[in-house]
Structure 1
Amino acid sequence: MANVFDLCFSRLSISCQATYFILFISLAQPQNIVDFKPSYLTATGPTVTALLLGNVSDISLNLRTVSPSNTTGSIGPPSCVAEVTQWVLTREQVGKTAVRVQLKLDKSLRLCGENETDTDCCPKPLCVLETLQVSACVGGTPQASLLIQARIFALLLPANAGSENKTVIPNQVYQPLGSCPCDLTFGACDVRCCCDTDCSSEDLKLFVSHCLPGPFGGQVSPASDYQCSVQSLKNSPDWFPFLCVNSPPENNPYLGLFYQGYTITPEPGPSFQSPVSPAPVPVNVYIQGSPILTLNDQYFTIPQKVFGQCVNNAPVAFLKNVQVNCVTLLRSCPNGSPLRTLPTDLRIQVKNGQGGDVLVDVIDEVAFDLSQFISSTDAPSDEGLVCENVTLALDYKLYWEGNDITSITVTQTVGTITFNSSVALTTRYSAVFLNGELMDETNSGNPGYQVGRPVIAGVVDTLDNNTGLVQRVSISLWKPVSDGLCVSAEMKPILFGENSTSGCLLPVSRHNLTQCDLLRETVTSLQNNLVTATHVAKSGNPDPFTTTDWVNISFLTQNYSTTMEDSTNSCYGVPSHQHIHVWSLITGMVGGVPQRDIRALQVSYSMSPWTLDCGGGDVSPCVDPTETQLFPITSSVSFTEILVNTGPPKTRFQINFTEYDCNRNDVCWPELAFPITKYYTGEPYSQSLAKGLILVFFFITASILGTPWRQIRQAWR
């Protein structure tokens, strides 16, 4: 229960707070008593919600309008007789002992116009002022009641939708202060703008005491005391006739802050509902990130994800690989793109970026095993709906050289789907750019790694000519999703310079702890899936054919202690934590940006004992061999920067004699002339040297002209 409360309040969601409230009240009260929480409400809007807690199985709800007694001033006892009101009462079961009661006003809050005969509006600004009583009854006997004081004002809606003309801002240097700057909406009353001429007297009563202050609200600040037009003869100081300022009222600090513009008719803009994107401006050559265009100057598009949602027609960018999976719930056979695409629709002509064009070559494939495309379906039957030639995957390969697209091929995978009522279909779409026969890989820097970019790793693939080619693979950490279990956890790449720790949960039973060797092998296999590489790239743009651009990954295996033996409910030496340690070094500067290279990468494992916890009264995991407990499997990465001492080497005198070493001695004689040394940084070295020489000159002059030299001259004579 504590975990539920902590989880709810950490997310600060309304549903969680409501759940906590229901659980708390339901535990605090007996189940045979019903009560409204709260029992009194003040409604200022058209919707009111309360909770009825207790034994609500046979409860009926009745609504009526009540008024206080003229003699006692109190509300009468609750009644089980319902009345016709302007409110709609609904109930929703939210638990075994809780019902959400909701009242909704069945009336428009629009303010009636002059001489309007429609009854579904508010004749006065105070639209609703009444007291309601909701009674919870069992067999005609009231058990609890809820009082609602409704005080609702009418909504102020503009008489028209307002002008959609654009306002042109003229030269504001010589424009005077506007008469009502807060009048922002044409033909409608702006709230808190008391100088708006569109506001009626009824509107002003709602916010007359909360008008916008200052010049923005139309209240120009009074003239300053130094203005000649302000001071009177009675309170004028002696200096006023000579030092006052004559300035026109238009010359004020707010000149040009507001404007008097004119309107123009807006030009029609692009529509989000247009099925075809507007023709873009054609480009001469393709560069990385520029959109690819078809022969008729339209975007070359494939389904992609935008803000987490699949979009059927998204432009393909040059040298930007795309790989997405889209889930669609089918209730009938598709008859349009992209789930039903003909080969003729895919054979389009695309501009190659050099003034010519290429034709997309279509390769058809038929998928018989639909397990990787259909994630859920209902039970098959002979009367199911059969959909043929459904597009399951579109895999594009775009071959390029320089700024030119040489050819494009697409592999269309189709299949036949059979279902009864609905099926969840997962379709795959990809577009990869190949330079010759090699896929264009995304680098992480040029040349050094950039912080936040993925660490590049790979495995050596020896070719027939004994030339080592490094094929890129991933180095990842756990990325728990959904329930946090390892079986459903995903992986996230390691980002350079960012320390991180993550993990997942593995359910382990008492039966699993009787096979400790198998358990250790299972955990080791899960951890090894994170690091499948044998080499890591030194720089952010490594050459796959140059082995000197890569360094070996060192793996440290730690044997578990043999002093601790495995028992029935525990296993020792489980590699539950994997740590990746990366050492980097700044090798230089390019344009003022430090270039960092990876010098070494080490993968180590930490062993820990796994023991069933049967405390707290829960002994089922230790008794039932199939009952499981969750054990964490974690992974982490840390980056360490190797510091290089770039200072000058110490001399033999500094090493052998510490008397004059300021770092190892309290008395530092070299600091006697500190202001004229290069270590003084309070001002430029040239200035400090000049000032020091001037002081030395004055010292020598004073010594020559002083008493000792005068006595020497007298003795010499």
Structure 2
Amino acid sequence: MIKHMDCSSEDLKLFVSHCLPGPFGGQVSPASDYQCSVQSLKNSPDWFPFLCVNSPPENNPYLGLFYQGHTITPEPGSSFQSPVSPAPVPVNVYIQGSPILTLNDQYFTIPQKVLGQCVNNAPVAFLKNFQVNCVTLLRSCPTGSPIRTPTDLRIKVKNGQGGEVLVDVIDEVAFDLSQFISSTDAPSDEGLLCENVTLALDYKLYWEGNDITSITVTQTVGTITINSSVALTTRYSAVFLNGELMGETNSGNPGYQMGRPVIAGIVDTLDNNTGLVQRVSISLWKPVSDGLCVSAEMKPILFGENSTSGCLLPVSRHNLTQCDLLRETVTSLQNNLMTATHVAKSGNPDPFTTTDWMNISFLTQNSSTTMEDSTNSCFGVPSHQHIHVWSLITGIVGGVPQRDIRALQVSYSMSPWTLDCGGGGVSPCVDPTETQLFPITSSVSFTDILVNTGPPKTRFQINFTEYDCNRNDVCWPELAFPITKYYTGEPYSQSLAKGLILVFFFITASILGTPWRQIRQAWK
């Protein structure tokens, strides 16, 4: 018998520096040296605290590591007991990404996916939309939450302004269960009958400013019959609505952050001839199950992450006799990945500001050799779609590089599709309905634009390190901090204006102060 022991205090100290506070992996990145809150009196620079900066921690481009609400809430077991974490500290107002709290200061949870697995108690982040499908294999009628909800969904949630909001429940009954259940057994009237099984929970959270005005949830239930086993697919979703508009999620503040979705859209001209950019997705193939294109899903393109994926399309000899129709079919499948015409330059674009968006360029690459279609082959099939994104680092805010998209190009590669009749697989070439699988692929690559630093430095510039802050203990450009460009906490024009106002008040105080008055008296 192996006896499990709890971790000692020395073992727990090993994880202190690696654990990030907050339910979504921390709220802010490491603060800069010029923040007044990070400097101590012992190791502070010479200019501290006269020229330090006071800035709220939420005014930063850091979006968190687990921003989708992908958080696992551990449950104490029979061994490896961990101390119960204290209740979350109540917040005055909700900001984007902060957890929503119930009236008893607990997290408002909805089942979500974490690393591909469904978690029943995952916190809901403010202004974060999601939709997940959880598959559960049932051999008997469910008794626990959330498939069989024993508790009332009408709970009270803090609205972020000191008040409360009661969740309004709308009950619906589903009679067509084809999209929720799948079974390998033949349908039969005999079996275990399970009533009022939860099939979907769709939340709508209405907000205004930092306030949640109302919450509604549509609970879809149904009656299922279990013979031996049934795979139940349950849908959970949460949508934040500002009036009738859906709250959009940004990918940076202001620049893109690594691993966040690339924001794209199409221009919708309103009645007053003003353009509104509606967000749409730029995706790659996400093959599931058998890998066929008919059952493949799509995954969004994440900024800075190169990726290649694809799916398989069954093609018969009869299809290869209609090459124009085959090329149109493949083109239609590839166009489903790219429905956007514009891409956002930054991670927090304004849908009403056209300067925050740029056109997407499309380029069609012809095949290397021009050949005619034959009986068993078609040429010029756009089987590969490549998306190339160029980005540029425009600055650093709070220690986080700010990247903007400068260009996005979509290109298509043509390839010939020919039936393979070699070896023993000759049936596709004989039977016109027998199919072979052909790949349809998509890829994305990101390229950083290198900034031209100007002509090479002379020997005098390389050896003269008096003004080099990286190789010299005394940094003269920081003497006028934050007037110089070494301060990146805000735009240079604003810091220059505030610095000059500070200098003006300092000179005024010196002129009207006691030393200057004594000098005037001595002069008289």
Compared CA separation, residues 534 and 242, structure 1 to 2 (3 A): closer
Please state how far the C-alpha of 1:349 moved relative to its aligned partner.
1.1
Contact 1:301 1:313 in 2 (8 A): yes
Contact 1:654 1:661 in 2 (8 A): no
SS in 1 for 2:110: strand
**Distance in 1 of aligned mates of 2:262 and 2:58:** 64
Contact 1:278 1:298 in 2 (8 A): no
Please state how far the C-alpha of 1:530 moved relative to its aligned partner.
1.0
**Distance in 2 of aligned mates of 1:416 and 1:409:** 23
**Distance in 1 of aligned mates of 2:485 and 2:369:** 62
Please state how far the C-alpha of 1:338 moved relative to its aligned partner.
2.0
Compare 367-376 and 249-258 and name the one that shifted more: 249-258
Q: Does 1:318 align with 2:126?
A: yes
Please state how far the C-alpha of 1:577 moved relative to its aligned partner.
1.0
Compared CA separation, residues 677 and 488, structure 1 to 2 (3 A): closer
SS in 2 for 1:688: helix
Please state how far the C-alpha of 1:314 moved relative to its aligned partner.
2.8
SS in 1 for 2:122: strand
Please state how far the C-alpha of 1:344 moved relative to its aligned partner.
7.5
SS in 2 for 1:689: helix
Contact 2:366 2:413 in 1 (8 A): no
Compared CA separation, residues 377 and 272, structure 1 to 2 (3 A): farther
**Distance in 1 of aligned mates of 2:104 and 2:38:** 72
Compare 537-546 and 298-307 and name the one that shifted more: 298-307
Contact 1:378 1:419 in 2 (8 A): no
Please state how far the C-alpha of 1:567 moved relative to its aligned partner.
1.0
Contact 1:292 1:318 in 2 (8 A): yes
Give the unaligned 5+ runs of structure 2.
1-5
Q: Does 1:262 align with 2:70?
A: yes
Please state how far the C-alpha of 1:219 moved relative to its aligned partner.
49
Compared CA separation, residues 387 and 642, structure 1 to 2 (3 A): same
**Distance in 2 of aligned mates of 1:600 and 1:228:** 38
SS in 1 for 2:205: strand
Compare 223-232 and 307-316 and name the one that shifted more: 223-232
Compared CA separation, residues 247 and 657, structure 1 to 2 (3 A): closer
**Distance in 2 of aligned mates of 1:636 and 1:506:** 17
Contact 1:397 1:410 in 2 (8 A): yes
Please state how far the C-alpha of 1:707 moved relative to its aligned partner.
65
Compare 406-415 and 502-511 and name the one that shifted more: 502-511
Q: Does 1:305 align with 2:110?
A: no
Compared CA separation, residues 259 and 691, structure 1 to 2 (3 A): closer
SS in 1 for 2:183: strand
Q: Does 1:479 align with 2:286?
A: yes
Compare 602-611 and 388-397 and name the one that shifted more: 388-397
Compare 416-425 and 452-461 and name the one that shifted more: 416-425
Write out per-residue CA displacement over residues 665-703 of structure 1, whole angstroms, 9 at most, x where no aligned residue.
999999999999999999999999999999999999999
Compared CA separation, residues 421 and 464, structure 1 to 2 (3 A): farther
Please state how far the C-alpha of 1:375 moved relative to its aligned partner.
2.8
Contact 1:374 1:426 in 2 (8 A): yes
Please state how far the C-alpha of 1:262 moved relative to its aligned partner.
41
**Distance in 1 of aligned mates of 2:361 and 2:504:** 66
SS in 2 for 1:702: helix
Please state how far the C-alpha of 1:496 moved relative to its aligned partner.
2.0
Compared CA separation, residues 219 and 303, structure 1 to 2 (3 A): closer
Write out aligned runs for 1:179-578 (5 A): 279-341=87-149, 345-376=152-183, 378-558=185-365, 563-578=370-385
**Distance in 2 of aligned mates of 1:242 and 1:543:** 37
**Distance in 1 of aligned mates of 2:431 and 2:229:** 39
Write out per-residue CA displacement over residues 514-552 of structure 1, whole angstroms, 9 at most, x where no aligned residue.
221221111111111111111111111101121221112
Compare 693-702 and 375-384 and name the one that shifted more: 693-702
Please state how far the C-alpha of 1:395 moved relative to its aligned partner.
0.9
Compared CA separation, residues 619 and 447, structure 1 to 2 (3 A): same
SS in 2 for 1:429: strand
Compare 323-332 and 652-661 and name the one that shifted more: 652-661
Q: Which has the higher contact order (CA 8 A, sep 6+)?
A: 2
**Distance in 1 of aligned mates of 2:110 and 2:145:** 10
**Distance in 2 of aligned mates of 1:237 and 1:485:** 62
Compare 631-640 and 307-316 and name the one that shifted more: 307-316
SS in 1 for 2:360: strand
Contact 1:377 1:419 in 2 (8 A): no
Contact 2:60 2:253 in 1 (8 A): no
**Distance in 1 of aligned mates of 2:347 and 2:484:** 43
Please state how far the C-alpha of 1:321 moved relative to its aligned partner.
2.9
**Distance in 1 of aligned mates of 2:278 and 2:40:** 90
Compare 207-216 and 632-641 and name the one that shifted more: 207-216
Compared CA separation, residues 262 and 220, structure 1 to 2 (3 A): closer
TM-score (norm 1): 0.50
Q: Which has the larger radius of gyration?
A: 1
**Distance in 2 of aligned mates of 1:239 and 1:358:** 48
Compared CA separation, residues 292 and 565, structure 1 to 2 (3 A): same
Compared CA separation, residues 308 and 663, structure 1 to 2 (3 A): closer
Please state how far the C-alpha of 1:294 moved relative to its aligned partner.
1.9
TM-score (norm 2): 0.67
SS in 2 for 1:300: coil
Please state how far the C-alpha of 1:483 moved relative to its aligned partner.
3.7
SS in 2 for 1:518: helix
Please state how far the C-alpha of 1:636 moved relative to its aligned partner.
1.7
Please state how far the C-alpha of 1:397 moved relative to its aligned partner.
1.5
Compare 294-303 and 204-213 and name the one that shifted more: 204-213
**Distance in 2 of aligned mates of 1:235 and 1:661:** 22
Please state how far the C-alpha of 1:713 moved relative to its aligned partner.
59
**Count of equivalent residues:** 519
Please state how far the C-alpha of 1:603 moved relative to its aligned partner.
1.3
Compared CA separation, residues 220 and 715, structure 1 to 2 (3 A): closer
Contact 2:287 2:296 in 1 (8 A): yes
**Distance in 1 of aligned mates of 2:56 and 2:349:** 71
Compare 199-208 and 511-520 and name the one that shifted more: 199-208
Contact 1:321 1:432 in 2 (8 A): yes
Please state how far the C-alpha of 1:430 moved relative to its aligned partner.
1.3
SS in 1 for 2:111: strand
Please state how far the C-alpha of 1:574 moved relative to its aligned partner.
0.6
SS in 2 for 1:240: coil
Please state how far the C-alpha of 1:226 moved relative to its aligned partner.
51
Contact 1:374 1:425 in 2 (8 A): yes
Give the unaligned 5+ runs of structure 1.
1-197
Contact 2:385 2:410 in 1 (8 A): yes
Compare 199-208 and 564-573 and name the one that shifted more: 199-208
**Distance in 1 of aligned mates of 2:336 and 2:162:** 47
RMSD value over aligned CA atoms?
Answer: 18.0
